[in-house]
Amino acid sequence: MMKQHRFSAWLAGFFALAFGMGVSTSAFAMAYSYSSPNYASAGISGNGTPPVYTTAMHIAGSIATASPLPANMPLTEIGPSGSNLIQTFSFNDGLHSYTLANTRLMNFDIAADSAGNISTFSMTMLSPLPPNTIGQKMNGVLLNAGAGLAEAISGGVCSVVNGTGQCTALGAVNNTDSLALIGAPIGTFTTSASPPAGTLTAVPNPAQQGQAVVLTATTGSTLPGTVTFSDGTTVLCNTVPLVSGTATCSTSSLSVGSHTITGLFAVGGIAVITFSVTATVTIAAIPPPTPAPTLGAWALIALAAFTMLMALVWQRRGMRR
């Protein structure tokens, strides 16, 4: 019988966790960034199907929380199955990116020191989001400071799916495209400044149907990033680069009515923090053209009588000649 990934043991413990988290519309209270050492050649395995992990790669990422972590907090689940303190996250293992949009955060257990910094942690994430199927290729990251283990997996074959469509176990190493392990020390989380707030404005607002509306998203961050402007599920401008903290989008496609426009910021380098802001834009219908003046029935009769009178006058003058 082929040996399964150690990933499967962690998956089995967390398969029932919720996986749908929304993006906040406000600034986060605190951000925590992680970076591991590079993968060692001895820790890279799998069947070698490209792309594969290399010794130039490592795991990096960040989380943002709704409030600072309490000092001396014991090991606590702050993910969706616990306090749900995490508002957003973004990780990269060298081959794949993991965010709210594509990843199920299965667990995130942390403890904090006397200054509120993360002192130990255990985290498991798996992509893509459910519903999953047996035989589906999966990617994931496991970090466990207590066990001194960091693991990244690319193209692991899902071998078990539960009743809600969540993959709960991955198959043997020789069925996996690439696997990378890092032993102790696996890296630490550092506390960074609060991610910046953003603003979104629309000019003109209100506007008439067909009129160009310029949307401007602004943040105080000096980091590189982009903004995606959307009207509900309709993307108006995709991944517009931030220039000096500002991105703009011009659209004339908004229909008549009230629209909640969202500006989704993605700020940072490998470890991207995402947050969004909204603005309400009102589009008015184009007023109908003003009709040309028309004469009423009595006015038409008067005009006809006047015309006849003038004709008689000119006729008499002609007879006198």
Q: What is the mean pLDDT of each run of 10 residues along the chain (321 residues)?
A: 46 34 42 92 92 95 83 91 85 94 92 92 96 96 94 95 93 91 92 75 95 93 85 95 94 95 79 78 88 66 70 64 57
Other CB atoms closer than 10 Å to residue 177's CB: what's the count? Answer: 20
Q: Nearest CA to 100 among 280, 264, 278?
A: 264
Separation of alpha carbons 87 and 101, rounded Å: 13
Length of the chain: 321
pLDDT attached to residue 100: 87
Residue 314, classed as helix, strand or coil, is helix
Nearest C-alpha neighbor of 281 from the set 307, 256, 301, 302: 256
Q: Could you tell me which of 178, 232, 194 has the C-alpha nearest to residue 54?
A: 178
The CATH code for residues 198-284 is: 2.60.40.10
What does the pLDDT read at residue 298? Answer: 67
Domain ranges within the chain, ordered by starting residue? 6-192, 198-284
What whole-number distance in Å separates Cα of residue 142 and Cα of residue 119? 17
Residue 79: per-residue pLDDT: 86
The pLDDT of residue 226 = 92
Tell me the pairing of strands 198-203 and 178-183.
unpaired
pTM of the entire predicted model = 0.59
pLDDT of residue 3: 42
Distances (CA, A) of 252 to 181, 209, 242, 281, 285: 51, 7, 22, 12, 13
